[in-house]
Amino acid sequence: MKRVIKFFAVAAMVISAVACNSAKPAGVAKELVPSKGEIDSVSYLLGINFGSMIKGYNMGDLNFSEIKRGIDDFVHAKGNQRDTDFVKQFKVNPEQMNEVISGFIEKRSAYVAAINKAEQNKFFDEVKKQAGVEASESGLCYLIKEPGNDTKPGPKDTVYVHYKLTLKDGTVIEEVPEGQPSVMLTLNRVIPGWTEGLQLLGEGGKAVLYVPAELGYGERGSNAIEPNTPLVFDITLDSVKPFVEPVQEPAKK
């Protein structure tokens, strides 16, 4: 969480610079004073920077009036930041930033995970009612649209696939459509849902895999995938490259 402190420190310096340069003291060359357009651009990009952090940490709805208050308080704070009394000017001690923000993010993540877990259970209840969908003991649900030929991958084999990954609401996260080069994957290096699901298909086969979070990215999630989020993969298995055990050379005498 040190990057949070660093982020705010850099942002504060830029905000301070913009605030200081907003004044136009006499005797300073006009071309050295940032234009309104430049100030607006920097202000907007700072907003994007803050928004990126808020979205990246999945902070949810925040009190933007308090964000503005914190900015104003810091820009107009008096004294040297190294002085022990400096932090007394603020509603919350900035030195507690890591602790407070980390605790908030952890609580928010646990909340999102609990909500998503309940929604996942409802989702799979509906998926299992769909015609042709089967479920394995692991919790994986799948619909075989085309079984393919007799060449099926093993758990260590390399596969070449086209696929589309969506969330349960249909939001597309990744897509490698047919017509583009296929993606090469080794089945013991992907999420468990893929390792299990791809072994159900032969070359040329097509399937939809409904992967519960336990066989996907679990309680932590990954990038755009929230904790306890089920995944839907529409997959075409183009070809299989069997795993070959490496030949061990005899020890030299």
As a whole number, the mean pLDDT across the chain is 87
Q: How far is CA 147 from CA 155, 183, 201, 208, in A?
A: 18, 20, 6, 11
Residue 101 token pair:
């923000």
Task: Map residue 178 onto helix, strand or coil.
Answer: strand
d(CA 235, CA 230): 16
- What is the pTM (predicted TM-score) of this model? 0.71
**CA atoms in the 13 A half-sphere facing the CB of 95:** 9
| Alpha-carbon torsion angle 209, 140, 123, 147, nearest 10 | 30
Tell me, what's the pLDDT at 144?
Answer: 97
d(CA 192, CA 195): 5
pLDDT digits (tens, 9 = 90+) for 97-121: 999 999 998 898 889 899 999 999 9
Give yes or no for residue 9 having a pLDDT over 90.
Answer: no
Report the relative pairing of strands 134-135 and 141-146 from DSSP bridges. antiparallel
Calculate Rg over the CA atoms of the chain: 27
What mean pLDDT is predicted for residues 45-68?
A: 88
d(CA 194, CA 1): 32
Tell me, what's the pLDDT at 31?
Answer: 76
Q: Report which residue type is found at 133.
A: V
Give yes or no for residue 17 having a pLDDT over 60.
Answer: no
Residue 157: Cβ within 10 Å count: 19
Q: Report which residue type is found at 245.
A: E
Tell me, what's the pLDDT at 253?
Answer: 64
Any idea which of 81-85, 88-92, 148-152, 188-192 has the lowest mean pLDDT?
A: 81-85
Name the pLDDT band for 5 (thresholds 50, 70, 90). very low
| Strand-pair partners of 160 | 184, 239
Give yes or no for residue 217 having a pLDDT over 80.
Answer: yes
Q: How far is CA 72 from CA 84, 105, 193, in A?
A: 20, 24, 49
Handedness of CA 48, 49, 53, 56 (dihedral sign): positive
